[in-house]
Amino acid sequence: MDLSVLIQDVIVNVRVAGLIKTSRGFLFVKSKKGYVFVLGGRVKLGETSQEAIIREVAEEIGMRVEKPILCAVIENFFVTATEKVQEICFVYKINTIFGGNPPSEYVEISLEDIDKYDLRPKQLADVFKDKNNSFKHIIVREGSVL
């Protein structure tokens, strides 16, 4: 069971995201609406965030991951057409370089080109560009959730 709970009229999600290197940059999922986001998903009940990112990467691209490094936490508040959402996302750097052919809904983007894409959340670009590998805590408010 996913850690996604309705509290009052707000959906609270606990998610993970993985920054996956390729030979040409990083791997992103391209949405049907044209924006890009990093691979990931919801943490399951009883699962750590680290276990979740290892599972998600294996499920989505078939890659085995060992010792992902937590590099950021994103608190994301947003409103869709049908719901209010408060999300906590644990972002991990994946040390293994993806060498396969990405699935059709994925795109490889270099760091030089990342600003040319509609990255969601856009603040995640700061994590990609950080040369000091400092831990980031990012708060994104895209509408009044509470």
Q: How far is the C-alpha of 20 from the C-alpha of 8, rounded, in Å?
A: 36
Residue 59: how many other CB atoms lie within 10 Å: 11
Task: Tell me the whole-structure pTM to 2 decimals.
Answer: 0.93
Note the pLDDT of residue 68. Answer: 97
The DSSP output letter for 100 is S
Q: With 90 as the cut, is the pLDDT of residue 67 above it?
A: yes
Q: What's the average model confidence in pLDDT over 112-116? A: 94
Please name the fold of domain 4-142.
Nucleoside Triphosphate Pyrophosphohydrolase (3.90.79)
| 17-53: pLDDT as tens digits | 999 999 989 999 999 999 999 999 999 999 999 999 9
Q: From start to end of the chain, where are the E strands?
A: 4-7, 10-22, 25-30, 36-37, 40-42, 69-79, 84-94, 106-109, 136-142
